[in-house]
Structure 1
């Protein structure tokens, strides 16, 4: 993947509607911070652009990302407009943001201002708990904490991002329920390729905007089948869409523990949305630092083997993570960053494809 310049050619200058340099006042590793948002190498709405990045300790100039999304009014739940965002890492702590807007209920200037205000949270500026976590690791001093501290020292620029895009992330994670990695990525990719719109500005050809609730409602059931989305998941997506207005309001919910606990209970009240779906969503929308994904097929084995040498289940994983309560998702992120791979047994699952029937 190559870095696409802000100016494509002399006939289309494509001056951004808004541009700013965000200084995080500390290391930010853009690829590793934002990588958890990207759904596979073919994600049509979000992709990290490594540029000349080769995996430095804190992030290296030349890394970047493309993103497109819709902005919603939390008061009226009306669509303010569509945004194309380009991020470029300038140095260890600074990232340049350039964006292009197509206003619906807001002008391009108002939309650009509102979108730029969200960029720091997307880059993890509100993730302020790592210092307390570092102190906790030092205070515990056990072998596991010492190992986690070593990983942390190798990756001081990793942060927990907060997209604020609650509806989009809920839909994306729902498509990942109880299916293989390939099926999940295929469903999201095909949904946007077949039904998504082009974002404004000099977007790469592959980019498509996430769908609105109304657009999702109009997709017939046979189309979901073509996209390899099982009927229970499609039904859950439609139930989520019925609450789109409320979700746009809830997206502005603070990221503190008490607010997130209330938000969890509201989201799990939607039939088909369980604790795993909520955890995977809030980790990305609100930077939830203490919300490991209970119910994940692989995570308990990974955490158990990495920290104790033995596989475990969800209950065992929570017991293992208890000493780091308040930072349990940070522990999971560090384990994944370490490169550790738990043992696997048996052949990879190859699900049957019944779409032609």
Structure 2
């Protein structure tokens, strides 16, 4: 499939937010600049190769039994539904970030459970630890990626496979029993969770947070990727309120203060965060406490 996006689109900036760590087995950027990504569809597993031959041209190729269905979603994955037209930067810092990153779009995969699992793994632990757990579990229980991938890749396990992972395997991957139970339970209701992709943002959040262990932060992380929600702010994040507070106002903030201060950008609050990050804007000076690494394998 080849198409011209309706808004300026930068392939790597847009799809890069779907990568879970630098060694994610489901994501690869090759030497030519092409992005390879694996996924699951209702028709089976698939490998996708995204390229950008020209600034106004995007292309997607697919392999595997789910290739047809996966390729059909490629425009959404590269932000076709994301409409920045109503975004008003309002301040010079954001205006500059928006002008320098015109092709940053919010992707929409439509795959809810696929986004939920890594979000649960990232609950209450540092990113490097969560990414290590994701990498370990996908390599151990996922499927070999179809197609001529530049190097070996994996497809994330099916919901039934996630639900059947033994306790000791979670332990070896550094995942505590609470997060393991949350994933296994969500896997049993995966088909109901997938229905959230067709709901309003409010109803989708309600459906997700019905799951034990899935709160507002996790639901927002899913909305950012599965629903392409440009307003999904990860409230409850260990660093976010202080990052945004210092980036935009030069001080620490609580979640409530951040929510109030972000009111002028309602509808685009996640976009604001993405733009700040893309522009390399620094947040809070690194002098406060950091979340510590907890090795659950030693517990």
Q: Which residue, 245, 260, 283 being the options, matches 1:304?
A: 245
Q: Which residue, 114, 117, 120 being the options, matches 1:171?
A: 117
Question: What's the counterpart of residue 117 of structure 1?
Answer: 72
Over 3 Å counting, the alpha-carbon distance change for 1:282 and 1:354 in structure 2 is closer
CA distance in structure 1 between the partners assigned to 2:62 and 2:142 by the alignment: 19
CA distance in structure 2 between the partners assigned to 1:291 and 1:351 by the alignment: 27
CA distance in structure 2 between the partners assigned to 1:43 and 1:270 by the alignment: 26
Retained in 2: the 8 A contact 1:30–1:63?
no
Retained in 2: the 8 A contact 1:44–1:208?
yes
**In the TM superposition, what whole-angstrom CA distance separates every residue of 1:247-266 from its partner, at most 9, and x where no partner exists?**
23333x15xxxx01111011
Q: Which runs of 5+ in 2 are unaligned?
A: none
CA distance in structure 1 between the partners assigned to 2:170 and 2:217 by the alignment: 22
Retained in 2: the 8 A contact 1:68–1:209?
yes
* Range moving further from structure 2, 281-290 or 196-205: 196-205
How many Å apart are 1:294 and its aligned residue? Answer: 0.2
How many Å apart are 1:47 and its aligned residue? Answer: 2.9
Over 3 Å counting, the alpha-carbon distance change for 1:347 and 1:294 in structure 2 is closer
What TM-score does the superposition give when structure 2 sets the normalisation length?
A: 0.95
Aligned residues: 298
- Aligned runs of 1:7-86 on 2, under 5 Å? 20-49=1-30, 51=31, 62-72=32-42, 80-86=43-49
Kindly report structure 1 stretches of 4+ aligned residues shifted beyond 4 Å: 346-350
* Range moving further from structure 2, 154-163 or 88-97: 88-97
Over 3 Å counting, the alpha-carbon distance change for 1:204 and 1:194 in structure 2 is farther
Is 1:197 aligned to 2:149, yes or no?
no
Question: What's the counterpart of residue 210 of structure 1?
Answer: 156
**In the TM superposition, what whole-angstrom CA distance separates every residue of 1:33-67 from its partner, at most 9, and x where no partner exists?**
11111011100112344x4xxxxxxxxxx532111
* Range moving further from structure 2, 283-292 or 112-121: 112-121
CA distance in structure 1 between the partners assigned to 2:19 and 2:206 by the alignment: 26
CA distance in structure 2 between the partners assigned to 1:248 and 1:353 by the alignment: 32
**In the TM superposition, what whole-angstrom CA distance separates every residue of 1:1-47 from its partner, at most 9, and x where no partner exists?**
xxxxxxxxxxxxxxxxxxx2121144211111111110111001123
CA distance in structure 2 between the partners assigned to 1:356 and 1:313 by the alignment: 33
Q: What is the DSSP-based 3-state SS (H/G/I as helix, E as strand, rest coil) of the residue aligned with 1:355?
A: helix
Question: What's the counterpart of residue 244 of structure 1?
Answer: 190
Question: What's the counterpart of residue 232 of structure 2?
Answer: 291
How many Å apart are 1:319 and its aligned residue? Answer: 1.1
Retained in 2: the 8 A contact 1:321–1:328?
yes
Is 1:345 aligned to 2:291, yes or no?
no
Retained in 2: the 8 A contact 1:38–1:48?
no
How many Å apart are 1:175 and its aligned residue? Answer: 0.3
How many Å apart are 1:336 and its aligned residue? Answer: 1.1
- Aligned runs of 1:329-340 on 2, under 5 Å? 329-340=270-281
**In the TM superposition, what whole-angstrom CA distance separates every residue of 1:108-166 from its partner, at most 9, and x where no partner exists?**
xxx443222200000001101x1211xx33xx5xxxx2221111010111100001111
* Range moving further from structure 2, 306-315 or 22-31: 22-31
Q: Which residue, 188, 206, 218 being the options, matches 1:265?
A: 206
CA distance in structure 2 between the partners assigned to 1:70 and 1:126 by the alignment: 21
Retained in 1: the 8 A contact 2:196–2:203?
no
CA distance in structure 1 between the partners assigned to 2:268 and 2:290 by the alignment: 32
Two-structure CA RMSD over aligned residues (Å): 1.6
Quick one: higher RCO (CA 8 Å, sep 6+), 1 or 2? 2
Question: What's the counterpart of residue 60 of structure 2?
Answer: 97
Q: What is the DSSP-based 3-state SS (H/G/I as helix, E as strand, rest coil) of the residue aligned with 1:291?
A: coil
CA distance in structure 1 between the partners assigned to 2:190 and 2:131 by the alignment: 23
